[in-house]
């Protein structure tokens, strides 16, 4: 009995019991660690100290977890943050795009809207010159599109504005090269050196309103235009009105006078043919309202004017041997008549280049009575020009008149206040030619007769004379034109 007790007591020897308890603890702890290893980092509880060394000495086959290195963890965390933050497009953005896509959170589809088509079509949108803003825009684009591929990354790079180009904006329409610039109508070849005559802005020849009588046909009119082109002229000043009536069919004339034109023979389309051929040849057409507001006893409206009291008392003897009567534009009916005639004309012939009135738009100072009609004449002319411009603003209103001093003093014509476009100074008087020439330099040109062609060389070589108009008062415009050409 005593022997059995001794054997059993050995089993519970204190030293042996401790070893058994330690083994069981290690066995249980190993099992617990095995099933919880993915959730608890044992490196926080176990380190490479004396306890671990003792366990390894006692139980060399027992697996013991190793402690993670703080340097390694920090390094991986740094790499991860670098990948998440450094998403700015670079030259190698195409190759790195897949890696960025993998690290992008898998967001729900409803929170990941697809790119707006309108934004994809903008190739080079203008944005502020801000690099940080550009990077932020590209980063947001990648974060909101988790399905972005290499091709979309490439498109993002292409759509990024080229900052240096933003500082150099594209040319405006005003900077574009003009294919057909407007040049002076000098009617010369581009490769030809211009003569002093060809440098004049307007080289005009006057043709009387009677030049189209006898029903001149289309062929005759067009040939005449080409003839004056060959003689070096770039403007034809043709009479369309005179002695109180029109040289074309006028509804205004018909309504007021009961006749639609002057009693003359002309083809109804004569002015249409003239303008058409002239423009083909690079020639302007100026419609000449000769004699202006004056008529003689042969005028078809003379009797009517007397009956209506349209005539200013007295006889106008501006020129020796010619007696004229002046229509009084201070009368409202007379003023309206002239205004309606002019408005009708620029509407009937909308492509006419200019209308020109002469020194007969004025009252001679020797008319009976000491009456100053200057203010009333200015008011009438301004109103007529204004209404004409309303009807056709492309037509120039020109004057062939005396110098401003003589015009105002002797004809009540203060034309500097008339709103006219161009003024050509009449220099018909040889005695005062140099004085008239000085005035012509200040305005748009000079007008001379065919008896003054010996002055032509002097005028042409004077660079201060912009334009020269030739008035063949002898009634032979072809000969006058030929003399002009032969002078150069």
Task: Spell out the per-residue pLDDT of the chain, length 488, in tens.
Answer: 444 444 444 444 555 666 677 777 777 666 666 665 555 554 444 444 555 565 566 555 555 555 444 444 444 444 344 444 444 333 333 333 333 333 333 433 434 344 444 443 434 444 434 444 344 443 344 444 434 444 434 443 344 444 444 343 333 333 333 333 334 455 444 546 889 999 999 999 999 999 888 899 999 999 999 999 999 999 999 999 999 999 999 999 999 888 999 998 999 999 999 999 999 999 999 999 999 999 999 999 999 999 999 999 999 988 778 899 999 999 999 999 999 999 999 999 999 999 999 999 999 988 988 899 999 999 999 999 999 999 999 999 999 999 999 999 999 999 999 999 999 999 999 999 999 999 999 999 999 999 999 999 999 999 999 999 999 999 999 999 999 999 87
Closest CA to 276 of 209, 373, 353, 345: 353
**3: number of Cβ within 10 Å:** 7
Residues 6+ positions from 13 with CB-CB distance below 8 Å? none
- Please list, in sequence order, all residues whose beta carbon lies within 8 angstroms of the beta carbon of residue 451, skipping any fewer than 6 positions away: 473, 474
Distances (CA, A) of 330 to 30, 296, 365: 128, 19, 16
186 with 198: CB under 8 angstroms? yes
Residue owning tokens 């032509």: 456
User: Distance between CA 95 and CA 259 in Å, rounded?
Assistant: 92
449: its two tokens = 């007769």
Quote the tokens at residue 146: 């988790």
What is the C-alpha to C-alpha distance for residues 246 and 161, in angstroms, rounded to an integer? 68
Predicted model pTM: 0.62
Of 396, 443, 393, 441, which is closest to residue 423 (Cα–Cα)?
443
Whether the CA torsion 211, 212, 216, 220 is positive or negative: it is: positive
């Amino acid at each position: 009995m005593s022997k059995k007790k001794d054997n059993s007591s050995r089993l519970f020897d204190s030293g042996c019991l401790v070893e058994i308890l330690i083994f069981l603890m290690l066995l249980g702890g190993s099992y617990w660690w095995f099933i919880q290893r993915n959730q608890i980092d044992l490196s926080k509880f176990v380190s490479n100290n004396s306890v671990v060394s003792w366990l390894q000495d006692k139980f060399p086959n027992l697996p013991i977890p190793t402690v993670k290195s703080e340097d390694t963890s920090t390094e991986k965390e740094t790499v991860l943050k670098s990948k998440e933050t450094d998403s700015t497009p670079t030259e190698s953005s195409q190759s790195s795009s897949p890696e960025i896509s993998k690290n992008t959170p898998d967001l729900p589809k409803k929170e990941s809207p697809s790119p707006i088509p309108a934004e994809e079509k903008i190739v080079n949108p203008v944005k502020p010159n801000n690099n940080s803003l550009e990077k932020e825009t590209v980063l947001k684009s990648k974060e909101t599109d988790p399905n972005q591929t290499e091709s979309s990354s490439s498109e993002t790079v292409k759509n990024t504005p080229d900052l240096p180009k933003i500082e150099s904006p594209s040319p405006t329409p005003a900077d574009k090269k003009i294919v057909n610039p407007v040049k002076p109508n000098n009617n010369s070849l581009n490769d030809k050196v211009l003569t002093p005559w060809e440098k004049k802005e307007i080289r005009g020849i006057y043709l009387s309103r009677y030049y189209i009588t006898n029903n001149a046909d289309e062929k005759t009119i067009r040939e005449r235009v080409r003839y004056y082109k060959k003689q070096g002229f770039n403007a034809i000043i043709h009479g369309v009105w005179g002695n109180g009536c029109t040289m074309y069919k006028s509804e205004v004339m018909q309504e007021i006078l009961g006749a639609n034109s002057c009693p003359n023979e002309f083809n109804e389309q004569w002015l249409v043919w003239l303008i058409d051929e002239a423009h083909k040849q690079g020639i302007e057409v100026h419609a000449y309202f000769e004699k202006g507001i004056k008529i003689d006893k042969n005028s078809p409206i003379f009797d009517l004017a007397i009956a209506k009291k349209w005539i200013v008392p007295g006889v106008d003897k501006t020129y020796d041997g010619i007696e004229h009567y002046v229509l009084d534009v201070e009368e409202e009916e007379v003023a309206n008549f002239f205004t309606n005639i002019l408005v009708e004309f620029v509407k009937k012939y909308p492509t006419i280049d200019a209308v020109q009135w002469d020194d007969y738009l004025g009252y001679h100072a020797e008319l009976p009575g000491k009456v100053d009609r200057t203010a009333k004449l200015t008011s009438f002319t301004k109103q007529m020009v204004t209404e004409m411009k309303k009807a056709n603003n492309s037509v120039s209103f020109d004057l062939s008149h005396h110098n401003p001093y003589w015009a105002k003093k002797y004809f009540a014509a203060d034309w500097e206040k008339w709103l006219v476009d161009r003024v050509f100074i009449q220099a018909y008087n040889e005695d005062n030619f140099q004085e008239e020439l000085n005035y012509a330099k200040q305005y748009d040109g000079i007008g001379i007769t065919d008896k003054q062609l010996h002055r032509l060389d002097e005028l042409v070589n004077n660079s201060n004379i912009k334009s020269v108009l030739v008035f063949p008062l002898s009634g032979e415009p072809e000969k006058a034109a030929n003399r002009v050409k032969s002078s150069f």
